[in-house]
Amino acid sequence: MKQLVIFLIILLSVNHQAQEMKKAFINAKVYTVNEKQPVAEAVVIESNKIIFVGTNAEASKMIDSNTEVIDLKGKFLMPGFIDNHVHFISGGHYLLGIDLRPAQSTNEFKTILKDYAKQHPGKWITGGYWNHENWEVKDLPTKEMIDEAVADQPVFVERLDGHMGVANSLALKMAGITKDTQSPEGGLIVKDPKTGEPTGVLKDNAMNLIYRIIPESTDEENYEALLAALNEAKKLGVTSVHDITYSDALKAFERAKSEGKLTCRIYTRWPISDYSWLVEKNIKAGSGDELIKMGSLKAFADGSLGSSTAWFFDKYHQDTTIFGLPMDIITDGTMEKWCIDADKNGLQLSVHAIGDRANSYMLDIFEKVIKTNPQWDRRFRIEHAQHVRFQDVPRFAELGVIASVQPYHCIDDGVWAEKRIGPERIKYTYPFKSFLEAGVKLCFGTDWYVAPLNPILGLYAAVTRRTLDDKNPDGWIPEQKISIEDAIKCYTINSAYAAFEENIKGSIEVGKLADMIVLSDDLLSIDPVKIKDVQVLMTIFDGKIIYRK
């Protein structure tokens, strides 16, 4: 009996190995993002690793009866995209929920809400991700506006940047928000200047007054959202993401991994308020395996430009009473304490900073961390880094701070940003070129669900800076445009570096993970204006072809 069991184990092992065929991708225009071997004709993979990069002739010597040959017929093969900033589960919920982005007017906004409520009676309506800058009249929505569409079920729908939302009267009542309710530190309850009544709009920390009464998504709902997100990612060539992660999301990731459905690598970044939990578990930066990693933290220094809560040195152009909103952990000194302690325990710090003052403040904090703690390969990150004073740009390089940017925001914000902060501050907005010239490590992502998950649009934005309204054909702040080669690096090897993973992915090299994509066009030779139309034809993840168009 014992011999039979051993025989069956050996037989199963042999059969498994037979199924693990090599794959040879030949006749391709391979852009490797490897400076030592930038281009090639063929790539051979075995299991989940790259075992050869070179010419067709050399590759042919490796082809045998256990090799699947894929003739790419001259198509463009490159590393899979690594998105440096997503809200992955939330993105999945967005795909499955209400979508207010298409609304071009308040009437369309109300119609979408009304129709959705009919299909989902009695439930909270959340998400939506509206953008009033796309409306004919660009005033913020109000509770009365929503009440006209949905009055008998609670509604709290967010602006697309996630830093502002609007509630209907029922939701405000359920949350106990009245004219007498004070705005929390780091947040704002917008009130009518005449009556003092809340308009329904809540900004940043004030949104928590509503969030705390909204029922949490179930584990099954989160898992369905994850599967939707994974399906979207593979169609767009996204093979790795840096996720803003909470414990419920981690459950979904681990379940997908155990069921063999995790078709995207997840670099988790936990709320900085939970850093002590990671310390207790002895988790350091880069802990985990090739599918799920931990050890990075996410904090917020300020809000967003679209919500007028990004923190600036000077007042807003259209509202000279405000500088923006620093988060409460900044004003009470907690940010500095947490950053120093978390770094001392080997955790990576990544902090959302949009306004120039928020960016400068975080550079100051990081400098204190360096002076206080022993040296290690810490790889600080500032997420978004959208509005940075010119004198602060070289400080990123000096302090080893990665500028973790989402270029699509540039061509979206460029439509309306100047009216928020005026013509002078606009000059140092999204300074991609300045970062690179200063020697700053720049990496790219999308901020999905806030922006589309499609990395091709990010490449287009970084290279052309043509705003979505087509009013800047030569580029918005054109001196900050970068080359397609640099943009690709930012979306591959540089994003891998930002997660301590440049040795295992981010380029097509022997020994690295076989995460690659095939595109419809050659990104290096196509007219930059046409980059946005490039399609993903194939996605290879962990050595398996998971998507074909």
For the chain, give every domain's residue range: 2-74, 82-86+218-548, 88-211
Residue range 26-38: mean pLDDT, rounded: 98
Task: Please check the confidence at residue 299 and state whether its pLDDT lies above 50.
Answer: yes
**Residue percentage of the chain with pLDDT more than 90:** 89
Task: Please check the confidence at residue 7 and state whether its pLDDT lies above 80.
Answer: no
Task: Please check the confidence at residue 209 and state whether its pLDDT lies above 60.
Answer: yes
Residue 442 DSSP symbol: E
Tell me which amino acid residue 431 is: P
Lowest mean pLDDT: which of 180-184, 287-291, 389-393, 498-502?
180-184
- Given this model, what pLDDT does residue 6 score? 38
Residue range 370-380: mean pLDDT, rounded: 98
**What single string gives the DSSP state of each residue in 392-432?**
GHHHHHHHT-EEEE-THHHHHHTTTHHHHHHHHHGGGBS-H
Lowest mean pLDDT: which of 115-124, 284-293, 473-482?
115-124
Is-above-0.85 flag for pTM?
yes
Task: Please check the confidence at residue 65 and state whether its pLDDT lies above 60.
Answer: yes
Task: State how far Cα 3 lies from the chain centre.
Answer: 53
Closest CA to 219 of 245, 258, 250, 257: 250
Superfamily of 2-74 according to CATH:
Urease, subunit C, domain 1 (2.30.40.10)
Task: Please check the confidence at residue 12 and state whether its pLDDT lies above 80.
Answer: no
| Alpha carbon distances (Å) from 228 to 90, 161, 233, 243, 334 | 10, 21, 9, 15, 37
Whole-number average pLDDT of the chain: 94
Q: Please tell us whether the domain made up of 82-86+218-548 is placed in CATH 3.40.50.2300.
A: no
User: In the structure, how many helices (H) and strands (E) does the chain have?
Assistant: 20, 24
Q: How many CB atoms lie within 10 A of CB 18?
A: 9
Residue range 284-311: mean pLDDT, rounded: 96
Q: pLDDT band at 108, cuts 50/70/90? A: very high
Q: By the 8 A CB rule, do 438 and 480 touch?
A: no
Of 224 and 134, more confident: 224
Scanning the structure block, which residue is given the tokens 């439509």? 415
Q: By the 8 A CB rule, do 184 and 209 touch?
A: yes
Contacts of 407 (CB under 8 A, 6+ apart): 430, 432, 444, 458, 459, 461, 462, 487
Q: By the 8 A CB rule, do 412 and 384 touch?
A: no
**Encoded tokens for 524:** 């290096």
Tell me which amino acid residue 472 is: N
What b/e sequence results for 140-150 when a residue is b if at least 16 CB atoms lie within 10 Å of its CB, and e otherwise?
bbbbebbbebb
Q: By the 8 A CB rule, do 541 and 515 touch?
A: yes
- Given this model, what pLDDT does residue 434 score? 98
Q: pLDDT band at 406, cuts 50/70/90? A: very high
Coil, helix or strand for 173? helix
What b/e sequence results for 484-521 when a residue is b if at least 16 CB atoms lie within 10 Å of its CB, and e otherwise?
bebbbbbbbbbbbbbbbbbebbbbbbeebbbbbbbbeb
- Given this model, what pLDDT does residue 369 score? 99
- Given this model, what pLDDT does residue 51 score? 98
- Given this model, what pLDDT does residue 19 score? 52
Instruction: Determine the CATH number of domain 88-211.
Output: 3.10.310.70
